[in-house]
Structure 1
């Protein structure tokens, strides 16, 4: 009997090449972390970091007690913020709907020409933050709610389109083929075979995006796009910290209520 046959077999998850590759990746990751830490330390003034607890305590003492009488001046900015988020989301939904069908492999009219353009629109929308969109639009359209609405819409296109076109590509092909076998036109195939399958995902994604847009629209006023962010900028500019506390509380309540409402609507429609 061969002595090698009597040795116990040791199970290993990775072979030698895979183990070596993992060690190389870990070393590269550690080297990257060390490099990033050194790069961060070059411009970091650690005195301010160590003094930050004192600064937080000082600002916190100035923010209390809140100036609740200032709440009367926040109702209109809060309403503007909700309008920015809602109208921007609706506009984003209208624009994202065709983009998603043009980006999906199984519904695009041209994989070579049309789909890359749709994917570029999605990538461009997702890569630019709504605050940057608002900053650009304020420079073009001037300050006001319109810039904020369009900024929210442009940011929403990529989010909604990406999730929707992925859902379109995962539809049940058997159901689509059955409808096509009846002699249905391409538009009828989309209407009866694809749309019913992706509609729940589309509704859920749109509601989730509206919930996100409410949070994002609260800061658009910092660049002149209207909403409660404008009041926040004014209060911080004059160091009116008790008013800042009231603004923070109103934003918190608005976000909590919007999340609750979004969950209720999603549960009712899906």
Structure 2
């Protein structure tokens, strides 16, 4: 039933007209039909015998994964270190590249809203549109497998994230502070250093640490496509059906993500 709100705050319930009721039921009918169509498309190639057997297979694999192979842990130390380096160096490279892009994309700092800003926005959108796994696949084909491909993949993926949030923070600054500094006859560099940068530093620090936390998680799977890190060990263990090793690797990844989340929370709390 529609609700009519009067100026004095009183609300009145009114029954829909027959035509309105038919329109509502017709809308629900279309929604149900569309849902049924989508379900049919999604399950067109499904082999239902595998689906019914999935609980049995999951229980069998789960039994093989326990207990973890703790003796395999020393082998994971170097890949884990590579994973942390991929995330950290990739984030630092992304910060260095995304800061100028963000200033070029912000309306109040771009040198040209007609030409430069659309180009900067295009770079941000292009970076965010391609997943880090896709970047890693392309870079492994170009540079070969290894940590370098993973670092560049993380950096290219992070430019869009950092650049978008940072240019939005730049556009939301208090312009009165900038005008006050400009009124003193300050140069463009001084306006930037004393009027804009201090206002965006808390947001910049939080964005950077948050992206580093995300990159820790993303870098753990880049090895699946040959971009280095602990994902290489995960792929080899899966290919050889070494389920106890898979369990240990998953536990190590979980512990790494939990620690990175704790560190990033502490850093954000200390900075902001």
| Deviation at residue 28 of structure 1 after TM alignment | 5.5
Tell me which residue corresponds to 2:94. 92
- Runs of 4+ in structure 1 off by over 4 angstroms are 18-31
Tell me which residue corresponds to 2:73. 71
Q: Of residues 209, 212, 233 in structure 2, which corresponds to 1:210?
A: 212
Tell me which residue corresponds to 1:243. 245
| Deviation at residue 248 of structure 1 after TM alignment | 0.5
Tell me which residue corresponds to 1:4. none
Tell me which residue corresponds to 1:101. 103
Q: Which runs of 5+ in 1 are unaligned?
A: 1-8
- Using the alignment, how far apart are the partners of 2:22 and 2:12 within structure 1? 17
Tell me which residue corresponds to 2:186. 184
* 1:230 pairs with 2:232: yes
- Check 1:52–1:203 CA distance in 2 against 1; reply closer, same or farther (3 A cut): same
- Using the alignment, how far apart are the partners of 1:191 and 1:256 within structure 2? 36
Aligned residues: 261
Tell me which residue corresponds to 1:35. 37
Q: TM-score, normalised by structure 2?
A: 0.90
- Check 1:170–1:12 CA distance in 2 against 1; reply closer, same or farther (3 A cut): farther
Q: How is 1:1-270 mapped onto 2 (pairs within 5 angstroms)?
A: 11=12, 29-270=31-272
- Using the alignment, how far apart are the partners of 2:97 and 2:25 within structure 1? 46
Q: Which runs of 5+ in 2 are unaligned?
A: 1-9
- Using the alignment, how far apart are the partners of 1:115 and 1:255 within structure 2? 36
Q: Secondary structure at the match of 2:145?
A: coil
- Check 1:27–1:178 CA distance in 2 against 1; reply closer, same or farther (3 A cut): farther
- Using the alignment, how far apart are the partners of 2:97 and 2:27 within structure 1? 42
- Using the alignment, how far apart are the partners of 2:134 and 2:159 within structure 1? 15
- Using the alignment, how far apart are the partners of 1:218 and 1:21 within structure 2? 50
Q: Secondary structure at the match of 2:82?
A: helix
| Deviation at residue 120 of structure 1 after TM alignment | 0.5
- Using the alignment, how far apart are the partners of 1:106 and 1:25 within structure 2? 45
- Check 1:20–1:148 CA distance in 2 against 1; reply closer, same or farther (3 A cut): farther
| Deviation at residue 47 of structure 1 after TM alignment | 1.9
